[in-house]
Structure formats: C-alpha cells, structure tokens
A = this chain, B = another copy of it.
Amino acid sequence: MGKLINDFNDYRQRMNEKILAADNKVMKRIYSVDTLAYQDGALPAKVKEMLGLATSMVLRCDDCIRYHLGKCYELGVNTEEVFEIFSIANLVGGTIVIPHTRRAVEYWEELTEK
C-alpha cells in the first residue's frame, strides 16, 4: 500500500480508538449506525459506498472521500465508474468540488496501482 493510504488508515484508526475509549454513548452509537448503514440491504453495499462517496464529495470532506474510495475499490468499483461518480458530484456540487477531485484522483491512483 502507498503512503497516502497508510497515513490515512493509521491516523483514522488511532483517533477512532480514542473517540470510542471516551465512552460517550452518542458517539458510540453514531459509529455503530455508520457500520450498519453501508451493509447489503435492498441496495447492495457497492451502491451504498458509491452514495457515501458522492455525498462526501459534494460535502467536500477529503477524509470521507478517501474512506469511501477505499471501500469502493474493495467492492470492485472500477475507474470508469469512479469518474462517473466524480462527474455527478462536480455537477451537483459545482467547481468547488474540483480541488477535492484532484486529491481523490491521487488517492485512487494509489489504490489501483500494483
């Protein structure tokens, strides 16, 4: 795995552990609903991760984008599909999404390079 991915995963895991260790009930339930929401249901997990990616892009949350890019990659979304998600997000959310798309492309490259 590349450096962007490792750094992101390490920091994310380390800080999530601290958040859960604080033992705030509401935060813990938000984390557990978050896990539940992306599981296979009427819609397959793959589509749900696409929804997670697109919503993260229009809300312009780089870390959320990285997380869902990773999940999309694991679930078999390909590069052409990812760019169609990017295109909907840039259209709906406007050109302010472009800088986040640049960083998303860089991260996606790391995910897909062998």
Q: How far is the CA of A91 from the CA of B62 in the complex (A)?
A: 17
Inter-chain contact A51/B50, CB cutoff 8 Å: yes
30 A-B pairs with CB atoms under 8 Å apart are A12-B99, A12-B102, A19-B102, A19-B105, A22-B83, A24-B84, A24-B86, A25-B36, A26-B33, A26-B87, A26-B90, A27-B87, A30-B33, A30-B87, A30-B90, A33-B91, A34-B95, A42-B80, A42-B83, A47-B47, A50-B51, A51-B89, A55-B58, A55-B89, A55-B92, A59-B92, A59-B93, A61-B99, A64-B92, A92-B96
Inter-chain contact B88/A37, CB cutoff 8 Å: yes
Inter-chain contact B86/A42, CB cutoff 8 Å: no
